[in-house]
A and B are shown apart, each in its own frame.
Chain A
Amino acid sequence: MDMKTLIRCLLTAFVIVGCAPADQDAGEEKGYYAGKTVFVYVGRPPGSGADLAVRSFVRFWQKHIPGEPTMVVKNVPGGGGSRVWNLGWDNKKRDGLEIFFSPVSSTAVIVRQPGLRADLSEMPLIGAMMSPNLTYARTDRLKNAQDLPNVSGLRFGGQAPAHRFSILGRLALDILEVDYLNVTGFGGASDVFNAMRRKEVDIQTAPLNFYRFTVEPNLVESGEVVPLWYNPLTNELGEYIPLTAAGDIPSFDEYYLSVKGEPPSGELFEIYRWLLPNVNGIVYAAVLPPGSPETAAQILRDSFSSVTRDEEYQLEEQKIFGFNLPIVTAEQGEHMLNTMTHAPEHIRNFLEEYIRQEN
């Protein structure tokens, strides 16, 4: 064996040895999910907005997980959205083959609602998404969007009293000192919307995609409804994230400034500001049961993140939502869930009392 051949052999061996761990990891990653079936549970009924969001995400997720497992979405609605988290918390199969991907009942987490047994801060987070929302009103009794604080007896239509849209909508109206009647207990955003079309309620807070696909073509274009403000998303420093998808609709702060001539302030506004990153910040979360293997969690986190960069998925999101949902990394999300779970006493007490108030 001459020197040249020896060097070539050594180099080859070096390359093989050097690459081996990486290949082994890749093999392990690929092997973990290859040929498996992963069940994804969503805590809302088939056909709901959350169901649509999860199903469209899962279609792409499947291709991004090494080994391309079969993924099956199952609906487990109930308990005001808490049932799915309880199912994950109690789950004995901790093999990374069961993912719980659903809207987080943020206020239920903060006030430790009796029905929610799961401690989301103890469940490995794979990834999460933010979802902006906005408030709009019927135009019958408003001259224009700026006229809201001058009109009395308006009816705010809300879902369950603890629902985030009920809380955020009411808080904003209270900060603006609007004289309104709180009509609570509608089953979903479309039920409030139907009541709005029948002139039974005047104001609603709903997801931006619902506004874009249902409210705008049916009522905004005909001039029956006017958008008022959007409730902004914030980053981990509490700074507002610019929301281009909202177009020329102002944020709540901007709206307040335009009608009151000064920026919003006060105790209610402080609560509103505290809620924004938590209530708005982590709307759809994907978690594993506590004690699931870290290998599985990491594979799922990487693939989750990879989906959000997939151009095809982004196009699909544009088609479904009209914009791309901002993504929350596992680290950011775990921080948010931890903050919600261990919310300051005064925030929790305030919310408990606020939820129970009738008007």
Chain B
Amino acid sequence: MIDGVLAGLLLVFSWPTIGYLFLGVFVGMWVGAVPGLGGVVGLVLLLPFTYSMEPVPAFALLMGLYAVTSTSDTISAIMLGIPGSVASQATILDGYPLAKKGQAARAFGAAFTVSAFGGVFGALLMAVSIPFILPIIFAFGLPEFLMLALLGLTMVSVLSGGSIARGLSVAALGLLLTTVGYAEATVIPRFHLGTDYLLDGLSIVPIALGLFGIPELLEMAVKNTSISRVDMSNVRDRGMRRGIKDVFKHRWLALRSSLVGVYVGILPGLGGAIVDWIAYGHAVQSARDKSKFGHGDIRGVIAPEAANNSSRAGALIPTVAFGIPGSPGAAILLSALVIKGLQPGPDMLTVNLDLTFSMVWDIALANILAAGLLMLLSRQIGKVAFLPAHSVVPGVMVVLLMGAWVATSSMGDWWTCLAMGALGYAMKQGGWPRPPLILAFVLGTLIENNYQLTMQVYDGLSWMYQRPIVICIEIAIVVTIVLAARGVTQPKPMRVTQTDNADSAKSLMSLSLATALLALFVWAYLSAQGFDDKDAAQFPVTILTAGIPLLMFVFIQDGRNCFHGIRACGGVGAALHLASQRWELWGSLRFFALVLAAVAMTYAAGQQLALPLFVALYLRSWARFGWPASLAYAAASWLLIWGLYTKALKMHLYPSLLFG
């Protein structure tokens, strides 16, 4: 094996392999940093170039990209509160508050250092784990996958702020959204409202971008504040070095999180989605002082970033050595193996061991390289946090809308994004956690399939008490909920006092949201009763049976809080008036109107014209920029759409009604 390790290292350092690795890293950093693109888009872009290449340089190019997208996606998570990919969701919880405090560079320093550490540690650990990986993978059957997904979902629901009932209700909503369209095991489409778009089911990208991105951009635009709420001159010791020091200070957390990343990452189809949450949960539960989590605790950045990078290495070996791709990215790597005439399987651990180890080294080196390069840039990127909102919002909005368009190139994706933006705004104002919705959406199909398959294969519920790993996970779920319920792992639920108008506005919005969701859940429950296929109804009915009582609990709690709030404000009219001020209602409606105008313009003239027009309109009418600056910004966004999306990514834009 040592021979294989050394031979692999020599292969990576040979020319042109090392050059291709650098190229892959550059492309990976770029596609990871742009919201909506990510590793799969990058791999698809690079795959055709590898057809005529030798296997080692071809995999250096692909692995360079694959390894680092989860490092550079941290940028949008920390700076904008938008998850660049599923893997960077947990980073938002503490990374974005750090940026708001003017400590973006510190968060970057910690994130990039620990990403490099996680990537290298994961690759090395995976290399020595090869002999006993297979028994671990196959110890996890359908019931274990199901329970592990539920554990991940529980952790997110109770750890991402707000009350447990709200967190679980949001998770139920996320699961319900996955039931739109066709399911794997059923023959009828569900909740598609007669539209073709919904028949295909919803896509994760527009949901995530809308839910997280739009509310943050809206707030920046309305308040005209920079990402950082603190002026640059008032922030002391905000630099990257402090972030690096943080990693050394919390080195054991980084080590434990990397271990979690590797061994959860090897689980096909599941690992990559929950690994950051399990690491984050571990960071919270193992900390003595938990009060700062969710408000900018650096440990909340270190744990998920270590885990998501080490999980890339974890996912590689099952793909290469056993032909089990754990994610869409890994499936593309598997294709590349087949194109090169290589058989994934035992040969990769014997005849082609040097190639397998060259891939492990690719991951390790790519992570070091990406972390170094991003650190060089992080001081400059961090300064963006201090720019005035109006110079940031229109550009990011263009990238966000085009990112949503990447999913299926359908206007339905934009409507989904906007609807999720409105929902995200209401959730933010009402104090509801947003991350559970995304993770539930990612895991929903897996949970439904594994539930139905488990019931078929294991005949009944005996698997719940006969399988040791299932029992362990069940205990972990119960412990997580009990600890959270005791208030150990989360802040106290809000209570309205007579003097707190902010909380009054929050509970009014929360009550409105609970009412709307309750109506949606009841409608969905009644609709599901009418499905011809009982298998199609089973999963949504199960979710709703749990979700409706939870929402009713929230509804009652919010109703009580609202009642006190209204009394404190001196009547319904006064409470609504104060709440609308607190919500910045008119400014928010104006922002949505402007975005809707961009959508309408797109129907008429296509994105190539509509989005630059939106930029110009925003800058002139809202930000009061001069014509030259507005037009220059609009021209730059035109160039971005033309160069990046239509030329580089070969995307089709919406056909213009006016110009054909």
Contact = CB atoms under 8 A, between A and B. Distances in A.
Interface of A: 37, 39, 45-48, 51-52, 55-56, 59, 72, 74-76, 78-80, 83, 86, 92-93, 113-115, 117, 155, 159-162, 181-187, 190-191, 194-195, 197-198, 200-201, 213-214, 217-218, 319-320, 355-356
Contact of B44 (A75, A160, A200): A75
Interface stretch (B153-161, B290-298, B326-334): B326-334
Given A51-B335, A190-B325, A198-B141, 14 more contacts: A39-B652, A114-B188, A181-B456, A183-B457, A184-B185, A185-B452, A186-B184, A187-B269, A200-B457, A201-B457, A213-B343, A214-B323, A217-B343, A218-B323
B184 A187 contact: yes
Given A160-B185, A185-B452, A52 B339 contact: yes
B346 A52 contact: no
B250 to A, nearest CB: 36
B51 interface: yes
Interface of B: 40, 43-44, 47-48, 51, 138, 141-142, 181-189, 196, 199-201, 268-269, 322-325, 328-335, 338-339, 341, 343-347, 408, 445, 449, 452-453, 456-457, 533, 650, 652, 655
Contacts of B189: 114-115
A200 B652 contact: no
A159 B453 CA distance: 11
B334 A160 contact: no
A37 B651 CA distance: 12
Given A190-B324, A213-B343, A47 B335 contact: yes
Contacts of B200: 78-79, 83
A78 B328 CA distance: 15
A217 B331 contact: no
Contacts of B339: 52, 56, 319-320
B185 A213 contact: no
B187 A162 contact: yes
A162 B453 CA distance: 16
Contacts of B183: 185
B182 A161 contact: no
Contacts of B650: 37, 39, 72, 74
A311 B80 CA distance: 52
B414 to A, nearest CB: 17
The 9 lowest CB-CB distance pairs between A and B, nearest first, are: A185-B185, A47-B331, A78-B200, A217-B345, A47-B332, A319-B341, A214-B323, A72-B650, A52-B335
A183 B453 contact: yes
B324 A194 contact: yes
A40 to B, nearest CB: 11
Contact of B331 (A45, A117, A182, A195): A45
Nearest to B459: A181
Contacts of B333: 47
B585 to A, nearest CB: 37
A194 B268 contact: yes
B347 to A, nearest CB: 7
A155 B504 CA distance: 57
B51 A59 contact: yes
Contacts of A159: 184
Given A185-B452, A320-B339, A117 B184 contact: no
A115 B182 contact: yes
A182 B185 CA distance: 12
Between A47, A80, A183, the greatest number of chain B beta carbons within 10 A of the residue's beta carbon is seen for: A47
B267 to A, nearest CB: 11
Nearest to B347: A217
Nearest to A108: B187
B241 to A, nearest CB: 40
Given A47-B331, A187-B449, A214 B344 contact: yes
A160 B183 CA distance: 8
A78 B189 CA distance: 12
A93 B330 CA distance: 34
A357 to B, nearest CB: 11
A83 B203 CA distance: 14
Contacts of B138: 197-198
Between B141, B186, B268, B457, the greatest number of chain A beta carbons within 10 A of the residue's beta carbon is seen for: B457
B48 A47 contact: no
A80 B188 CA distance: 11
A52 B340 CA distance: 12
Contacts of A39: 650, 652
